[in-house]
Amino acid sequence: MRSLFILIVSIIILDFVKSKDIIIVGAGISGISAARILINGGHNVTVLEARNRVGGRIHTVEVNNNKVDLGASWIHKDNDNHPIYKLAEKFNLKTKEIASSYKVFTKNDQNERIEVNSSLLDEKYEEYIQLIKSLASDSSKLSSNISVYDYLKNKNLLKSITENKFNGFFLSRTEIDFSASFKSLSAKLTGKRFTKSSDKNENGEKTPVLIFPNGYLDIVSNLIKGVGKEKVVKVSLEKVVTNVTVKDKVSVKTKDGSSYTGDYVIITIPLGVLKNDTITFNPPISEKKRDAINSVGFGTLNKAYLEFKVPFPDNETHIYYFMQNKFQNRNYFNDFYNLGRWIDKSAFMSLSPSTEDQNSEEIDDTSITESCLTRLSIIFNKSIVELKESWNSTIRTRWQADEFSQGSFSYPQVGTTLEDYEELRRSHQKYVLFAGEHTSNQNYGTVQGGYNSGVKAACEIDKKLCSTSSAPVFKIPLVLISSIKIEE
């Protein structure tokens, strides 16, 4: 039995010797997912976060005792193995499905309020699909330098889109998904999405859309806390990384003068920040990686949260849309998610991407509130005066102006190739790794893309931690092994 004891101790010592010191830059979903797996694997992890909070673009705030998500909001549960859904199950987090109940309103030529019935909407949508179906079939053959706008123009389809408010409305659904205008989107990489409903999977089956009534931040908080005897992920806040140097070890310096040394560093900052060279790499990153950083787009999707003092008469519908008559106004705060369905307040969340056509960040708070109240007055057939009396407050986001994100999420802009995503993920000098939703060519722009990228980075450092499918294997920490009794 003594020899067995020596063998086990030797294995433990061997594992201990192999443990690495790893620095992770960023405490968003990708940084925290990497940290959780590496810590569970017995490695020493230091997480540096520039903000005074964790979560990154997952940003839950408390408003009058209710949790409101100003960043990531929902899960498109396209299969039962969706990683964020699996985490929600593991942490016993409450989720709620956003039902497909919605209403669309517009104004006719006489400026009269019209509710668009579902059969007409279905008919117009089918006409829209027939109009642009060639975009999906031609996309793989197109040059990466052709935008969706250019394609439609070359096919003499542009007027049919811009001069028909139904087609403009349908086009805007996809633009919001990408947080970018069709003038910026690569026809080659996004063409198929314009003929596919975002609430259906590849088989045409409805995809449940789930939200967290208590806030998306619960996912990050629980990953940090861990379950059972998992060690807590320790995060150092307000640590703005300025330099990363690779010599014998990896050295990281922060704006406040602090220095950190490790065997590896994982960079998980958003692509918008990478584009602005806020971190100096020594040796410098390759020209190929620099080109990839510039090539992939980074869009902005802003939100406006409006709270009211009294309930609205219809509290059964989940989403209200206002269909604009003018094409240039198609994306400007026309979607209203009825938060009163899952929080204890009468409130709506509206969305608007910032594009070359209209930058919502340049518009002041009062104008945004008035625009939203105008839309809601049409939707609910109420006077502006009545709504202003009922209105309580507005919270709006400016993700582009946020120095630690400089946008919302990545998208394939004109000139982007799939190889660019691979290059963004590729390590620098072997010991500098990269993660984030922008490194995923399958799930860019999503929380699951960010989570999976953190898992992949952790696996690249220690392949023992993950199976061939890159799913994390939560091994027994070494400290627990020491409690096992060995009889001589």
For residue 283, whether the previous peptide bond is cis, meaning omega lies within 30 degrees of 0, is: yes
Residues within the annotated binding site?
30, 49-50, 241
Give dist(CA 12, CA 4) in Å, integer.
12
Could you list the pLDDT tens digit for every one of the 488 residues in the chain? 555 554 554 454 444 448 999 999 999 999 999 999 999 999 999 999 999 999 999 999 999 889 999 999 999 887 778 999 999 999 999 998 887 789 999 998 888 899 999 899 999 999 999 999 999 899 889 999 999 999 999 999 999 999 999 999 999 989 999 999 999 999 999 988 877 665 555 566 667 889 999 999 999 999 999 999 999 999 999 999 999 999 999 999 999 999 999 999 999 999 999 999 999 999 999 999 999 999 999 999 999 999 999 888 777 899 999 999 999 888 889 999 999 888 888 999 999 998 777 788 889 999 999 999 999 999 999 999 999 999 999 999 999 999 999 999 999 999 999 999 999 999 999 999 999 999 998 899 999 999 999 999 999 999 888 864 444 433 323 222 222 222 22
Burial class (CB in 10 A: 0-12, 13-18, 19+), 97: middle
**Residues in CB range of 16: below 8 A, 6 or more apart:** 42, 478
**CB distance 250 to 264 below 8 Å:** yes
Give dist(CA 401, CA 264) in Å, integer.
31
Give dist(CA 161, CA 169) in Å, integer.
9
**CB distance 412 to 424 below 8 Å:** no
Residues within the annotated binding site for substrate?
241
H helix runs in 139-269, sequence order: 148-154, 158-162, 165-178, 187-190, 217-225
Residues within the annotated binding site for FAD?
30, 49-50
Give dist(CA 173, CA 331) in Å, integer.
9
Give dist(CA 206, CA 221) in Å, integer.
30
CA distances in angstroms from 398 to 142, 237, 296, 402, 407, listed in the order given:
34, 21, 21, 6, 8
Give dist(CA 300, CA 14) in Å, integer.
48
Give dist(CA 84, CA 449) in Å, integer.
10
Q: What are phi and psi of 154, to 5 degrees?
A: -65, -30
For residue 75, which of 67, 84, 86 has the smallest C-alpha distance?
84
Q: Which amino acid, residue 318?
A: H
Q: Domains of the chain (ranges plus CATH)?
A: 2-60+218-296+412-481 (3.50.50.60), 101-198+297-396 (3.90.660.10)
DSSP readout, 77-88?
--STT-HHHHHH
pTM for the predicted model, two decimal places: 0.90
